[in-house]
Structure 1
């Protein structure tokens, strides 16, 4: 099985989720450091749709200026555009497998798609 993780190596939850993936037999892990290689707004829309959450639910508030920018109350297209332009606004980690997508907070949520 292939698993893609949108990863921030400075984030403990992201590192722990990556460790779960790497420790699982039969999982080929692709790591995308999304701060260096941000997903497009279209890719983010697909990830959130497949995860069953809204872009606003995938918005990182802690350590960002999302509140000051009014993003929690913005429409989905505005949130996605802001995330694509400023990927620090993306809550992490997102993991995609052929079984679905999860925002892995807590890290154990990754088990649902393995």
Structure 2
């Protein structure tokens, strides 16, 4: 059985659809509700590596009000990672990890490349 971890927000339709697709494919799923249990800076850096991202901004929801309120357009690097760790709502969702690699579940079918 394929082991999968999903960084999940149950209020997000794409996140729910991605979780349903993992269930449909018979995966053994670990669900991380990242808004309740926020990843720390090291976890975010590991996720970036698994996603193949060099710039933390690629992992951020830049249209969230918190992004503008915290004036994150003018910062970079570790400051963006720190912002995601303290305000997990800024993290793009969902993120699925299978076999040490990760993808965003937007659209949910993106996860099929990991299966």
TM-score by length of 1: 0.91
Q: How many residues align?
A: 113
Number of the residue aligned with 1:103? 104
Contact 1:99–1:113 (CA under 8 A) maintained in structure 2: no
CA positional deviation for 1:69: 2.2
Q: CA 1:82–1:29 in 2, change beyond 3 Å: closer, same or farther?
A: same
Contact 2:50–2:100 (CA under 8 A) maintained in structure 1: no
CA distance in 1, matches of 2:29, 2:89: 22
Gaps of at least 5 residues in structure 1 are none
Gaps of at least 5 residues in structure 2 are none
Number of the residue aligned with 1:65? 66
CA distance in 2, matches of 1:99, 1:85: 25
Number of the residue aligned with 1:46? 46
2:89 aligned counterpart, secondary structure: helix
CA distance in 1, matches of 2:92, 2:72: 13
Number of the residue aligned with 1:32? 32
Tell me which moved more, 65-74 or 102-111: 65-74
1:60-113 CA-partner distances (Å, limit 9, x unpaired): 123332034232342121111011111111110011111510112111111111
Contact 1:3–1:96 (CA under 8 A) maintained in structure 2: yes
CA distance in 2, matches of 1:71, 1:107: 28
CA distance in 1, matches of 2:10, 2:99: 24
CA distance in 2, matches of 1:77, 1:39: 14
Q: Which aligned segments of 4 or more residues in structure 1 are displaced greater than 4 angstroms?
A: none
